[in-house]
């Protein structure tokens, strides 16, 4: 009796890129129909290459590949006709939507795949309408994708893949540009597709997303090094850390508190809430939490009643006013399409408000001279800046900007040395930027901006697409820049990153809805509004408030895991009860 065919079967697959870079090394993998697997690994571990092999875009150099019943590759020899047949039932969502969008109208782009399948016009129209609704883009059917935000483009790409109704759907970092609500919506869609029989391969750097998979595989240097259920894989905390990864928030919290291991936030809250302690009415102590302090030295940036709309579109910003003091770190948060990136473009002088004004370092951007002056004091780090790297060495790439300023050789050298020291790449100056890790390439691009010595550094989703190690590297660098007094403004979808800043600016549907310190913006009075706006609050704060709803005393609005653990421990110590949480330990 022959075994039932599986949608994906890889047997001893290896793939080597030009230059001898081993992307996949003897990988064997089977995925069942309707199975949902999650692929984890540091940048450069082979995740995207594996995704491309599974969706039929790359043929390996060695090994065999079977896709949706077709043997497309044997002993490293591809069968082009078998690949052509298989691709009709394979879907892929690229990490960068710009690599996938091919038309100038959203609905045409979503229709592109079904049209290539030769479906009837009525069927194509029905699928396009269904998928645009599924990703909440009904109102953007006639829009130009190039004018959409990064997150909206990602939703267009997802809709296009879903419209093909593939048997196998591969998603490479589909949520990297989406807000909290957008990522949650995509995960719900994935769950429904899996239940309906679609086989899903999900590549991600968000550990929380992996918790919902049936199976998790971890890659390192092109090899599968861990495999199992989410609980089984995330129990290998020490190995994951060594691989540049991490465990989900709930697992970290349960470790820190010495609770039974769990990847479920609900389970860890249940465990904490179930711990008995003394008379709770006496536990009114609220741990002292230092309040964020911001330099009060006037305003380096002033936005006064600024409104802006792109041609033929609704307003991207509507009557926004805010101020940024020198040396302050500011996070801009908001759902996808709320106007965050537009606001950054106004601050950089790349766009001029239709009404109101923007003043940076005393320069009004409404004039050509003002915009030119602004560009001299502002460094702008766009999404995925590493794609602008081009020189043969790190040193030459970082020196490109200062040399264009016609500075002396000594001054260029000084600036390059200082920038490379700041980002921790001084030992990589002779290396090719294309041989660096993903996080190091991002830092190399940042060094090129820093070498221009801007007063203000503006970053659009600086951690998007980075693995946990890369995100940690970048956060450390931003911390050093903050200590040196550089004014930082960053767009982020991470509420945890926003909580680390001095101030937070929250946008919703093009309007300013909250501004202040993280504790002010994430206060209980704003929680409902932020949640409705697709954002939510930092996880630690969410756990604290859930415990308070279950009868615990106020825990002091903890914004980080360290603050939450300290608040819980202090409360339980005050109770003088016999509690296993008092013996909390660090478990790796």
Q: Collapsing DSSP states into helix, strand and coil, what is residue 509?
A: coil
Same domain, 255 and 200: no
In this prediction, residue 312 carries a pLDDT of 62
Of 488, 516, 544, the domain-final residue? 516
pLDDT for residue 235 is more than 80: yes
Residue 542 covered by a domain = no
Same domain, 269 and 316: no
Alpha-carbon 159 to chain mean position: 19
Radius of gyration of the chain (CA): 25
Same domain, 145 and 261: no
In this prediction, residue 283 carries a pLDDT of 43
DSSP 8-state code for residue 582? G
pLDDT for residue 291 is more than 60: no
Of the candidates 264, 232, 227, 272, the one whose C-alpha atom is nearest the C-alpha of residue 248 is 264
In this prediction, residue 289 carries a pLDDT of 40
Same domain, 332 and 214: no
Region 333-347 average pLDDT: 92
The confidence band for 486, taking pLDDT boundaries of 50, 70 and 90, is very high
Same domain, 487 and 373: yes
497-511 confidence digits (pLDDT tens): 999 999 999 999 899
Q: Domain count of the chain? A: 3
144-155 confidence digits (pLDDT tens): 998 888 888 888
The confidence band for 575, taking pLDDT boundaries of 50, 70 and 90, is low
DSSP 8-state code for residue 262? -
Of the two residues 227 and 275, the one the predictor is more confident about is 227
In this prediction, residue 487 carries a pLDDT of 96
Listed range (64-78, 194-208, 388-402, 572-586) with the worst mean pLDDT: 572-586
Of 495, 516, 537, the domain-final residue? 516
Region 503-530 average pLDDT: 93
In this prediction, residue 303 carries a pLDDT of 97
Q: Which two tokens stand for residue 423?
A: 């980002």
Overall pTM surpassing 0.75 (yes/no):
yes
pLDDT for residue 432 is more than 50: yes
Residue 528 covered by a domain = no
**Residue 31 domain boundaries:** 8-244
Can you give 52-99 as a three-state secondary structure string?
A: HHHCCCCCCCEEEEEECCEEEEECCEECHHHHHHHHCCEEEECCCHHH
Question: HSE-up of 489 (CA within 13 Å, CB side)?
Answer: 29
Of the two residues 267 and 297, the one the predictor is more confident about is 267
Which residues are 305's β-sheet partners? none
Residue 532 covered by a domain = no
Question: HSE-up of 540 (CA within 13 Å, CB side)?
Answer: 26
Of 463, 490, 516, the domain-final residue? 516
pLDDT for residue 218 is more than 90: yes
DSSP 8-state code for residue 391? S
CATH at 27 = 3.40.50.300
The Cα–Cα gap between 184 and 192 comes to 13
358-387 confidence digits (pLDDT tens): 999 999 999 999 999 999 999 999 888 888
pLDDT for residue 574 is more than 70: no
Same domain, 163 and 207: yes
Residue 445 covered by a domain = yes
Region 415-432 average pLDDT: 92
Residue 544 covered by a domain = no
175-208 confidence digits (pLDDT tens): 877 888 888 888 888 888 899 899 999 999 889 9
CA distances for 224 relative to 25, 220, 236, 468, 575, angstroms: 9, 7, 14, 18, 47
The Cα–Cα gap between 423 and 427 comes to 11
Same domain, 309 and 275: no
Same domain, 472 and 368: yes
Same domain, 373 and 400: yes
In this prediction, residue 277 carries a pLDDT of 54
104-128 confidence digits (pLDDT tens): 999 999 999 999 999 999 999 999 9
Residue 527 covered by a domain = no
Q: Which two tokens stand for residue 520?
A: 């002010």
pLDDT for residue 580 is more than 80: no
CA distances for 283 relative to 51, 277, 557, angstroms: 53, 10, 16
The Cα–Cα gap between 512 and 502 comes to 18
533-572 confidence digits (pLDDT tens): 778 899 999 999 999 999 888 898 999 999 999 999 888 8
Residue 296 covered by a domain = no
In this prediction, residue 275 carries a pLDDT of 72
Residue 522 covered by a domain = no
Same domain, 45 and 124: yes
Same domain, 316 and 403: yes
Same domain, 268 and 406: no
């Amino acid at each position: 009796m022959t075994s039932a065919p599986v949608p994906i079967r890889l047997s001893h697959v290896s793939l080597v890129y030009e230059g001898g870079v081993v992307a996949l090394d003897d990988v064997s993998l089977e995925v069942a129909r309707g199975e949902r697997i999650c692929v984890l690994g540091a940048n450069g571990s082979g995740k995207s290459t594996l995704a491309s092999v599974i969706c039929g875009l790359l043929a390996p150099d060695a090994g065999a590949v079977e896709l949706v019943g077709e043997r497309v590759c044997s002993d490293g020899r591809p069968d082009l006709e078998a690949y052509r047949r298989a691709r009709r039932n394979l879907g892929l969502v690229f990490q960068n939507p710009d690599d996938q969008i091919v038309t100038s109208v959203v609905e045409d782009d979503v229709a592109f795949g079904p049209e290539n399948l030769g479906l009837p016009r009525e069927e194509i129209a029905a699928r396009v309408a269904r998928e645009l609704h599924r990703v909440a883009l009904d109102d953007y059917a006639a829009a130009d994708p190039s004018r959409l935000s990064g997150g909206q483009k990602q939703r267009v790409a997802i809709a296009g893949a879903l419209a093909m109704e593939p048997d196998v759907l591969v998603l490479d970092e589909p949520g990297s540009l989406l807000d909290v609500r957008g990522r949650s919506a995509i995960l719900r869609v994935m769950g429904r597709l899996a239940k309906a029989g679609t086989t899903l391969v999900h590549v991600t750097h968000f550990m929380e997303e992996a918790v919902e998979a049936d199976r998790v595989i971890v890659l390192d240097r092109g090899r599968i090094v861990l495999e199992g259920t989410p609980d089984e894989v995330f129990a290998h905390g020490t190995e994951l850390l060594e691989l540049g990864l991490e465990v989900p928030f709930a697992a970290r919290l349960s470790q820190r508190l010495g609770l039974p291991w769990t990847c479920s936030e609900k389970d860890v809250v249940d465990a904490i809430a179930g711990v008995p302690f003394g008379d709770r009415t006496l536990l009114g102590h609220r741990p002292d939490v230092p309040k964020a302090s911001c330099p009060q030295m006037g305003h380096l940036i002033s936005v006064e009643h600024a409104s802006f709309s792109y041609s033929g579109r609704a307003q991207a910003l509507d009557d926004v006013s805010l101020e940024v003091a020198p040396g302050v770190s500011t996070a801009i948060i908001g759902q996808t399409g709320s106007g965050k990136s537009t606001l950054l473009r106004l601050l950089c002088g790349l766009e001029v408000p239709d009404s109101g004004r923007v003043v940076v370092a005393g320069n009004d951007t409404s004039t050509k001279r003002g915009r030119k002056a602004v560009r001299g004091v502002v460094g702008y780090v766009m999404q995925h800046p590493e794609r602008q790297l081009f020189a043969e060495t790190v040193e030459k790439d970082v020196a490109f900007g200062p040399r264009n300023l016609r500075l002396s050789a000594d001054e260029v050298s000084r600036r390059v040395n200082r920038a490379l020291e700041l980002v921790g790449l001084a030992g990589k100056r002779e290396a090719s930027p294309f041989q660096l890790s993903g996080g190091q390439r991002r830092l190399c691009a940042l060094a090129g901006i820093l070498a221009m010595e801007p007063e203000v550094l503006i970053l659009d989703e600086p951690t998007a697409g980075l693995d946990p190690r890369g995100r940690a590297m970048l956060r450390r660098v931003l911390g050093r820049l903050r200590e040196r007094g550089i004014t930082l403004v960053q767009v982020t979808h991470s509420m945890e990153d926003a909580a680390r800043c001095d101030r937070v600016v929250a946008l919703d549907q093009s309007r300013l809805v909250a501004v202040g310190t993280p504790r002010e913006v994430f206060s209980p009075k704003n929680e409902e509004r932020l949640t409705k706006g697709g954002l939510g609050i930092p996880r630690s704060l969410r756990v604290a408030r859930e415990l308070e709803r279950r009868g615990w005393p106020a825990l002091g609005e903890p914004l980080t895991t360290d603050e939450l653990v300290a608040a819980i421990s202090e409360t339980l110590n005050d109770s003088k009860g016999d509690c296993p949480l008092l013996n909390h330990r660090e478990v790796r």
